[in-house]
Amino acid sequence: MLIITGLGRCGTSFTMRVLQDLDFNLGINVSWFPKLGCGLELGSVHRINSEMYFRYLKKGLEINLDDTSYFRHWTGFTFRHILTKFDKDQRQGDFVDVVKDPRLTWHPDLIKIWWECRKDLKLLICHRDPEMVLRSRIIMGEGFEDPKDERMKDVNIFKQDFSDFLTEVIKLEIPYELIYFPNFIFKSELLYNGLVSLCPHFKEIKEDFYESFNKLIEPSRNHEE
């Protein structure tokens, strides 16, 4: 299972658009928001991550994987079952190949819990200077409120979130690649090499990758936004 994550406003959505164009299955209930230039998050995943954060971690509690979810899509199912089976849920159509969720950076226990349930995880982590992440969110204005409100007031919380997240990834020895935004927008081989490292079969679709990348990139766009 390939997961695309990062602080947000760091190229995760663009990466998902490329993968979608390459016919990777992102699941059925994903949305794209043109005005904000972001989206393609699997609803049933980001809601579960939000529930685990606000129900437990925000309150200083440990996540209980054997508790059942309140989320209507998964009512009556344990978090352990959901994390293990979400990509094979027939309601998504074919098996989900890749998901995106920046919420995994909110608290190190989230990725820890995912790894406990899914030893097949591979992470493509998009990163950006946290000062620029905050600036981008402010530029986007209305419609880009951060559920973790305190991060919109103090860039140091963005920095701490990412540091804690990456430390946990390294400690758990989860396979990952780290790519820096906007560098990989201007050097497409950085994204390609990161994907190949995690999923070697990308070598077989190299030409298709570059075709999709070049088709979707917006050279004139101000990447400070």
Answer yes or no: is 217 within a domain: no
Answer yes or no: is 213 within a domain: no
Measured in degrees and rounded to the nearest 5, phi and psi for residue 107 equal: -160, 135
Answer yes or no: is 204 within a domain: no
- 182 upstream amide cis, omega within 30 of 0: yes
For residue 223, is pLDDT > 60? no
Q: Facing residues of 177 across strands?
A: 124
Q: Facing residues of 179 across strands?
A: 126
Model pTM score:
0.94
Q: Percentage of the chain surpassing pLDDT 90? A: 75
* Highest mean predicted confidence (pLDDT) among 4-13, 31-40, 135-144: 4-13
Domain assignment of residue 154, given as a range: 2-198
pLDDT tens profile 14-69? 999 999 999 999 988 888 888 788 899 998 899 999 999 999 999 999 999 999 99
The pLDDT value given to residue 87: 92
Contact 9, 133 (CB under 8 A): yes
Answer yes or no: is 205 within a domain: no
pLDDT tens profile 85-109? 999 988 877 789 999 999 999 999 9
Q: How far apart, in whole angstroms, are the C-alpha atoms of residue 174 and residue 120?
A: 9
Answer yes or no: is 161 within a domain: yes
Count of residues in the chain: 225
Answer yes or no: is 121 within a domain: yes
In this structure, what DSSP letter does residue 36 have? T
Whole-angstrom CA distances from 220 to 124, 216, 217 are: 25, 12, 9
| Domains contained in the chain, number | 1
Answer yes or no: is 84 within a domain: yes
Give me the residue label for tokens 């766009």: 221
| CATH code for the domain of 157 | 3.40.50.300
Contact 26, 19 (CB under 8 A): yes
Answer yes or no: is 222 within a domain: no
